[in-house]
Structure 1
Amino acid sequence: MRFTWRNTATVPMKVKTLLSQHGVTRSLLKKVKYHGGAILVNDQPVLAIHVLTGGEKVTMVTPIEIGNDFLGGSDLPLTILYEDRDYLIANKPAGVASVPAHHLPENTLANRVKGYYQAQAYENQVVHITTRLDRDTSGIVLFAKHHFAHSIIDAQLKTHAMRKMYLAVVSGVLPADHGWLDQPIGRAPGSFIKRTITPDGRPSLTEYWVVRRLADRTVVKVRLHTGRTHQIRVHFAAAGYPLIGDTLYGGPRNPWINRQALHCMQLSFYDPFLQRDLTTFAPLPQDIVDLMR
């Protein structure tokens, strides 16, 4: 793949400095150097330490990313919400894990994306999953289609520039139309899965807005300002409003839904390749629609 920029600087700089300004990481530069890529200035090969003086066309050619055998491909259904050269955004159904684990079969979302790449005969076969959801949480999952796109998303995640919005149905009636949940989250003692509020946990911030109040439950729109494991589930449970169906955190069972009532419905991030913000929506699954009704 080829990525090209024009050097508009008026002072001398090294090529690697310009590339870093556009989000190229050191690890990616190593792959370009040692695995078949190239750096070109005005279509001539140079080293990353080459000094630019102004006005040059700088091109980075990345090597083909050959998939490994550790992730098998699956032909199970894959719902694609958006796709271009750099990103694929999928709508994960509840009950499907994001990535394989030792106790899960290879029917995960990552396996399905790998199978789709194989069917499309894409040159880059490495599956870069950049956001994940719990197995029983439905909604948007973002995949980068090459190393460079992955590093761009990683940088946005570190600076909390990405905007993820969820819809949840919690037990009880929330009194405030808008609120913040700000408690540190860590691993629960004696459990590899469960999380809890703990003074020595990682800082965690959740924002919510009430969408609808029902007799014994509240529909809320939720934004994550940090990305801790089970963050929404832990924060609402600690506040006394566990998610409907979330038995791990004390949520009540409900005949309309057999999992936690949580859906990632919107994802927004800046796409430097398109040079604009990209926003994707995922429709609500039927079980959450039924629960809301």
Structure 2
Amino acid sequence: MDNLFTITWVVQDEEAPVLLREYLKEKQISKAALTDIKFHGGALFVNKEEVTVRKSLSAGDEVQVCFPPEQKSESMDAEDIPLEILFEDEHFLVVNKPPRMPTIPSLYQPKGSLAAAVLFYYQEKGIPATFHAVNRLDKDTSGLVLIAKHRFAHSLMSKQQINKSIKRGYIAFVHGHVEKAELTINSPIGRNPDSIIERMVRDDGQPSITHFKKIDYCSAYDFSVVRLKLETGRTHQIRVHMSSIGHPLLGDDLYGGKMGLLDRQALHSEETIFTHPFTGEKIKLKVDCPKDMKDLWK
């Protein structure tokens, strides 16, 4: 069990007596996870002795959950690609994804993905994990990607996503002089019926809310710099919303942006804030925008 992801708790006075099944339920380990542990090579221990979920717990007992080994997806190959790691522990990895790198491989770009780079890193470090992205970025969007190292960590962070307790900040360069210092765009987004990729603002779309603040205007190239926060996480949300108010992103030809200054959308995920589900620590990470954006914004 040494090479498996394990989590250990000590039962507190106020938690006992309790059956292990109920104790693990309080720790947000689902029935599906317990089934996976039982039938796919995991194990449950109390005071170093392997037990079942019917075990009765007392205060001071040490509970250890060993999760089953994870299998790498057959569709993903490990590739020796450098990673810029901003945070790492036994449960999570946060990396700064460069522009033009897809988060996962696709039919159109099967090589050079972030997933492939992370799988190679795991392979080199002897980490028995597959790729669990908590958030994804478009290929041409740069910035912070939060990755879980095991299924349980991914499950807990998915709940934080649903509860909107993971906060992300973006910076974008948009065409024209944005007049308002601050604005909330509350416009539903749905698919463009004429495209398999493009989204659009439409009355029957999903609720979508974007907040932005203008922080600069570059008159030499006629673009504004805005910082954005999302209340919802729709596909292409920032790109669609900014285009809908007449300020598409530089380089975003899909939504009306021009390619003269940048050959990709000028969008960077610069900040991530989340509460670590195992330690309770508030993690706040920030990273500067990449060189192509910095060179324009001087």
Question: Normalising by structure 2, what TM-score?
Answer: 0.91
For the pair 1:21 / 2:19, whether they are aligned, the reply is no
Task: Give the Cα separation in 2 of the matches to 1:191 and 1:57.
Answer: 55
Q: CA deviation at 1:248?
A: 0.5
| Residues 166-213 of structure 1: CA deviation (Å, up to 9, x unaligned) | 100111222222221111111111211100111221111111111112
Q: CA deviation at 1:53?
A: 5.5
Checking the alignment, whether the CA contact within 8 Å between 2:157 and 2:277 is kept in structure 1 is no
- Which residue pairs with 1:126 in the alignment? 130
Task: Give the Cα separation in 1 of the matches to 2:9 and 2:121.
Answer: 31
- Which residue pairs with 1:195 in the alignment? 199
Q: CA deviation at 1:54?
A: 4.6
For the pair 1:204 / 2:208, whether they are aligned, the reply is yes
| Residues 134-166 of structure 1: CA deviation (Å, up to 9, x unaligned) | 011111111111111111111111111101111
1:58 aligns to what SS in structure 2? strand
Checking the alignment, whether the CA contact within 8 Å between 2:214 and 2:226 is kept in structure 1 is yes
Task: Give the Cα separation in 2 of the matches to 1:16 and 1:210.
Answer: 51
Task: Give the Cα separation in 2 of the matches to 1:68 and 1:246.
Answer: 32
Task: Give the Cα separation in 2 of the matches to 1:253 and 1:289.
Answer: 16
Indicate how the Cα distance of structure 1 residues 117 and 150 shifts in structure 2: closer, same or farther if over 3 A, else same. Answer: same
Unaligned stretches of 5+ in structure 2? none
2:81 aligns to what SS in structure 1? coil
Checking the alignment, whether the CA contact within 8 Å between 1:180 and 1:206 is kept in structure 2 is yes
* 1:222 aligned partner, one-letter code: L
* 1:211 aligned partner, one-letter code: I
Q: CA deviation at 1:241?
A: 1.1
- Which residue pairs with 2:76 in the alignment? 71
- Which residue pairs with 1:95 in the alignment? 100
* 2:178 aligned partner, one-letter code: L
Instruction: Please say which of residues 90-99 and 11-20 is displaced more in the overlay.
Output: 11-20
Indicate how the Cα distance of structure 1 residues 13 and 261 shifts in structure 2: closer, same or farther if over 3 A, else same. Answer: same
- Which residue pairs with 2:64 in the alignment? 59
- Which residue pairs with 1:154 in the alignment? 158
* 1:247 aligned partner, one-letter code: D
Checking the alignment, whether the CA contact within 8 Å between 1:92 and 1:140 is kept in structure 2 is yes
1:284 aligns to what SS in structure 2? coil
Question: Normalising by structure 1, what TM-score?
Answer: 0.93
Count of aligned positions: 291
Task: Give the Cα separation in 2 of the matches to 1:199 and 1:53.
Answer: 56
Unaligned stretches of 5+ in structure 1? none
Task: Give identity over the alignment, percent.
Answer: 37
For the pair 1:3 / 2:7, whether they are aligned, the reply is yes
Instruction: Please say which of residues 158-167 and 268-277 is displaced more in the overlay.
Output: 268-277
- Which residue pairs with 2:142 in the alignment? 138
RMSD between aligned residues: 1.8
Checking the alignment, whether the CA contact within 8 Å between 1:187 and 1:194 is kept in structure 2 is yes
Indicate how the Cα distance of structure 1 residues 224 and 49 shifts in structure 2: closer, same or farther if over 3 A, else same. Answer: farther
2:71 aligns to what SS in structure 1? coil
